[in-house]
Copies of this chain bind each other. A is one copy, B any other.
């Protein structure tokens, strides 16, 4: 998808995924792309700066965990603040989506 709509959805999605369980950055990217069948095609440049913003704001917390094999990964968890915000962002999506549909589902001018 090539759309400005995705702008602003990034944070909402990250909080939603981390509300399911702790994930590391690269995993978040793959999850988003897989679940949306690449309708959202996230790149590192989209995710990492956003994760760092959220961490700096005390919304998520990163912790390095040794993997079974290979390099350690940086897992992110929601803080208490982040859990609250995740709920708010989810509600915001519902409200936004509803308002958009109110506008978009009106009949167009007759074309016949």
Q: Interface residues, chain A, CB within 8 Å of chain B?
A: 1, 3-9, 11-13, 16-17, 19-21, 32, 35-37, 39-40, 90, 92-93, 95-104, 106-109
Do A102 and B36 contact each other (CB < 8 Å), given the known contacts A20-B108, A109-B20?
yes
| Cβ–Cβ contact A8 & B6, under 8 A | yes
Do A39 and B103 contact each other (CB < 8 Å), given the known contacts A12-B5, A20-B109, A109-B20?
no
**Centre residue among A19, A92, A100, A107 by max chain B CB count within 10 A:** A100
Residues in chain B near residue A103, CB distance under 8 A = 13, 16-17, 32, 35-36
Residues in chain B near residue A37, CB distance under 8 A = 99
